[in-house]
Homo-oligomer: A and B are copies of this chain.
Amino acid sequence: MSNISTADITDFFNPRGIALVGATAKPGKPNNQILRYAMQMGFDGTIYPINPTKDEIEGLKCYPDLLDIPGPVDLIIVSVNPSHCIKIANDIKTRRESKGDAGAVIVVAAGFKEMGTEEGIRIQKEMIDLITGCGARLIGPNCQGVVDAYHGVNSTFSVPPDTPKGGLSIFSQSGAFATSFLRWAKDLKMVGLNKFVSLGNMADVNFTELLKFAAEDEKTKVISLYMDGINDARSMIDIASKVTKKKPVVVIKAGKTNMGTNVAYSHTASIAGNNSIYDGAFKQAGVIRARSVADFYHTSRCFDKLPLPKGNRVCIMTVVGGPSTICVDELVLSGEVQLAHFTDELKVNLSKYLAPSANIGHPDGYIDMTASVTEKMHSDVLKLLMADDNIDGIIFMTTPPGFIKDEGLAQAIIEGYNSVPADKRKPLLSVLLAGSAVSTCRRILEENGLPTFEYPDDAAHVMVNMVRYHNYLNQAE
């Protein structure tokens, strides 16, 4: 019996059964919410609430103890006071040594090393030694744990079970940071989730291991990381440089300053490390470091939703001069992108559809359709741009004039984008200035998988990140 071999990390994402230690029947309590979310996630194994005072919670049979669970249970979620955690860890050890399951443990509870107290540090170490000593693996403590959208696993109280499925796998030392992204994106289906891991104090399973795992996971299209600080920077970067050959890795790294590092320590007991060293290491490994939270959100979701660019030649299709100037500035400042060259043939074809006052190609790669634009012009122009092999990406920008209807505009954009076969498509970013005045257009585009932006520079930065990744792959070949 291989009961002391080390468990596989897949037990977190595709377990045969799930136990929740600390389950409660009280509505509104985090431990009740965790149980409800776990049940609502569509998991097809058995869920076991553990609570010695109850026979049943939320209609599920309740067990007094981990050792009483009859069937195989691979994933144990521990959400009890730290003072109880050593007892639970011993139960896990006993269970693992007797039945061979209980290979994946998520310790949601806080009050360990991040407290900065001797007691917190001691209990964390003792608990980890017990759990890893019997070959089980641990995520946390002080975390929200795991969501697997395809296998129906959810150990959080904050990632809604109806979060749309997709290609994003997000691993974060801050649970709040990652869940904020998913909640921000949810209503407009702006991103689709595959795997979520809130790592907390990261006492065992870490970024390096998750990166390796997600690189091999077929449904993961982009890997996004929120980092406070890591202990194994060298090996993490080493693995990342291999993973980025297969799929994009986007990171936001907090703790740039000493004061930020102090916050990070009180948060997850992390030491943030030297910021500029990280900067260089990420760059060399082909990891895309987001310049802001908005950049992290948008870059991650665009890699999920859109095809990669096949080159660095980007064109602008606009009706707004000022915002476009800002956008072109940011594209060019990056040093990664060039404005696409319009052939004479393309210019002649564009002029057939646009008003005589339109600006076609001043500068090259730039079209101002002017305020005399119609809905149909949007699809006509987009079709030409999508079909042109000299263009690798498109940024569309508008504050729609009053006579343009939101629905019609959205349909014209979708029609233009879909006018070429899927393998010929290129990233299209739509900047809809004017906030809620264009909310219907925004909703239709997002629900059809076309990312929208409120600000021209945000779109430029995402296009730069996508082209940067193309350029990295191209050089690496």
A391 to chain B, nearest CB (A): 16
Contact A260 B399 (CB under 8 A): no
Task: Return chain B residues, CB-CB under 8 Å to A77.
Answer: none
Contact A326 B184 (CB under 8 A): no
CB nearest to A329 among chain B residues: B260
- A433 touching B321 in the complex, CB below 8 Å, given contacts A357-B111, A371-B30, A402-B158: no
- A257 touching B457 in the complex, CB below 8 Å, given contacts A322-B267, A399-B179: no
Determine if A415 is an interface residue (Cβ-Cβ < 8 Å): no
Contact B255 A325 (CB under 8 A): yes
A453 to chain B, nearest CB (A): 10
Task: Return chain B residues, CB-CB under 8 Å to A262.
Answer: 362-363
Q: What separation, in Å, do the CA atoms of A262 and B361 have in the docked complex?
A: 11
Determine if A10 is an interface residue (Cβ-Cβ < 8 Å): no
Determine if A194 is an interface residue (Cβ-Cβ < 8 Å): no
Task: Return chain B residues, CB-CB under 8 Å to A264.
Answer: 321, 325
Stretch at the interface among A125-133, A170-178, A241-249, A376-384: A170-178
Q: Mark A310-330, 1 if CB is under 8 A from B, else 0.
A: 000000000111111110110
Contact B263 A324 (CB under 8 A): yes
Task: Return chain B residues, CB-CB under 8 Å to A401.
Answer: 30, 157-158
Stretch at the interface among A209-217, A299-307, A434-442: A434-442
Determine if A266 is an interface residue (Cβ-Cβ < 8 Å): yes
Q: Which of A88-117 contact B (CB under 8 A)?
A: 110-111, 116
Q: What separation, in Å, do the CA atoms of A111 and B325 have in the docked complex?
A: 19
Interface size class of A (residues with CB under 8 A): 35 or more
Task: Return chain B residues, CB-CB under 8 Å to A259.
Answer: 328-329, 331-332, 339, 363
Q: What separation, in Å, do the CA atoms of A33 and B402 have in the docked complex?
A: 9
Q: What separation, in Å, do the CA atoms of A97 and B243 have in the docked complex?
A: 76
Q: What separation, in Å, do the CA atoms of A384 and B252 have in the docked complex?
A: 33
CB nearest to A338 among chain B residues: B259
A457 to chain B, nearest CB (A): 5
What are 14 A-to-B residue pairs whose CB atoms are below 8 Å?
Answer: A30-B371, A176-B319, A176-B323, A177-B323, A183-B433, A228-B325, A259-B332, A259-B339, A260-B325, A263-B363, A267-B322, A267-B324, A293-B457, A294-B458
Which residues on A are within 8 Å of B, measured CB to CB? Answer: 28, 30, 33, 110-111, 116, 157-158, 172-177, 179-180, 183-188, 226, 228, 252, 254-260, 262-264, 266-268, 292-294, 319-326, 328-329, 331-333, 339, 357, 359, 362-363, 366, 368, 371, 399, 401-403, 433-437, 454-458
